[in-house]
Structure 1
């Protein structure tokens, strides 16, 4: 369907802010809430590479080593935001004895999307090595959902592991086929062509970890984000994964993240169930 769109319509279809008038305020709220979380809760900075921006912010519950860990990859089209903007989902988890990790990675144009995917795998392996007995759930929003989906397709034997080091995934408003981005304004710092976009698209990658997965999006999203989510959910099901696929009423591409760990929302409740091993 995207191939039939004019260049102007394609730009709009992959611009989440085109249907989210409050996106600047929401993104500012990410930082404000996360700043409060960093002030209130104890955290540690965990390096997973040699670059200054290859680190994870890890929050552990007061009781110590947790049985469950949510690992979050932030969005921003691989060119914006940081782990410091992504700490607030920890708030509702720590009181339940669940740990939370926000992954930082090098932003484009200083790193390619392929490099960011590799960084995400390194970060996850570092956390899995640190907490080998934890039940790990990976999550991501927008570009972060793409990164989490690529981890589902990663050959973990290349990292010395016999299987994926996580048990479930939560994907919010993701982009799983990167080809439509090639001719848009989004691609300027990414430098993708059709070949490289295809190579790093979950839609064209083998599902290696058929795990329980939530695939969701906001009511106020463009049609392309909704279409991509439906199609990727179908791909996961065909690979044998148990998938919960739904639209979040009243939410858009940005404020859907506030539901991620809110137990009063369907998204938050399902995320917590996955972390506690109550949903399969």
Structure 2
């Protein structure tokens, strides 16, 4: 495809004309969640103001599962504060929810953002296995990482890291949910998306989880929207094929009537088509 077509295919808004309204809805629903829920525990895992985790736990109950969510925005937009809207649905099911923030490009490089994502999950795992939890005889929850778009890329990259020195002796996480992600970054080189990232072909390949060795073998669910672009749909299907070959694919599917931006509204919502794909992954018998 030519450069113009490639830029269009990697612009999810080309298939979602109301995307600005959806992005505003992220913030509006997140503000509503923040008003209605008990204030989250704030875990700071680095020096930058964006390096924080907003952790919501079900009141009065120790959660068996914790979903840690990385937002999208091509590593350049949005924040943890825009990512609180799934919390009420999860808490209603006694599942803890963490919105993970990270420094955006161009202030941070993409390799640096991947490192921040790893640091965040390591901090979350340490927090959930802290001595205070053991003293109260509270079992550490199973952590399921999740992400949408660029956040799905970050979650997929975490599968490729060697965690032995980050969280020695324990599994960093126990499953992954990847929504409308990008897993081969090479097509971004030469597009406007790369202006803030400044990746060359070698950098892009080194940051493409589609091709990297997998070090953390956990069940993975991959979903995408019917109204994602052809390239985003292709990338998800390619990752599904790879995960199936190595025995890590838990579930996969295209979600009818959903686009790149609004698919995440179904995250945690009981009975939604997306939930039917991920609910067993979150249940006691799912992992």
Please confirm whether the aligned pair reaches a TM-score higher than 0.5, indicating the same fold. Answer: yes
Answer whether contact 2:162 2:216 (CA < 8 A) is retained.
no
Counterpart residue number, 2:90? 93
Task: Tell me, in whole angstroms, the C-alpha distance in 2 between the residues paired with 1:192 and 1:90.
Answer: 34
Alignment of 1:1-80 (within 5 A): 5-42=1-38, 43-80=40-77
Q: Under a length normalisation based on structure 1, what TM-score does the superposition of the two structures give?
A: 0.95
The answer to whether the 8 A contact 1:207-1:236 is kept is no
- Equivalent runs, 1:59-208 vs 2, <5 Å: 59-132=56-129, 133-162=140-169, 164-208=171-215
Report the CA distance shift for 1:29/1:258 in structure 2 as closer, same or farther (over 3 A): same
1:162 Cα shift?
4.1
Q: Would you say the 8 A contact 1:72–1:140 is kept in 2?
A: yes
Output one character per residue of 1:96-144: Cα deviation in whole Å (capped at 9) or x when no partner: 1110000000000000111010000000011111113111101000000
TM-align CA RMSD: 1.2
TM-score using structure 2 length: 0.93
Bigger shift: residues 59-68 or 185-194: 59-68
Deviations 1:169-218 (A, max 9, x none): 11000000000001111000011000111111101211122221110100
- In the aligned structure 1, how far is the partner of 2:125 from the partner of 2:170? 12
The answer to whether the Cα contact below 8 Å between 1:261 and 1:269 also exists between their aligned partners in 2 is: no
Runs (5+) with no aligned partner, structure 1: none
When the two structures are aligned, how many residues end up with a matched partner?
276
- The worse-fitting range, judged by mean Cα deviation, of 164-173 and 24-33 is 164-173
How far is 1:233 from its partner? Answer: 1.1
When structure 1 is superposed on structure 2, of 64-73 and 221-230 the one drifting more is 64-73
Structure 2 unmatched ranges of 5 or more: 130-139
Secondary structure of residue in 1 paired with 2:176: strand
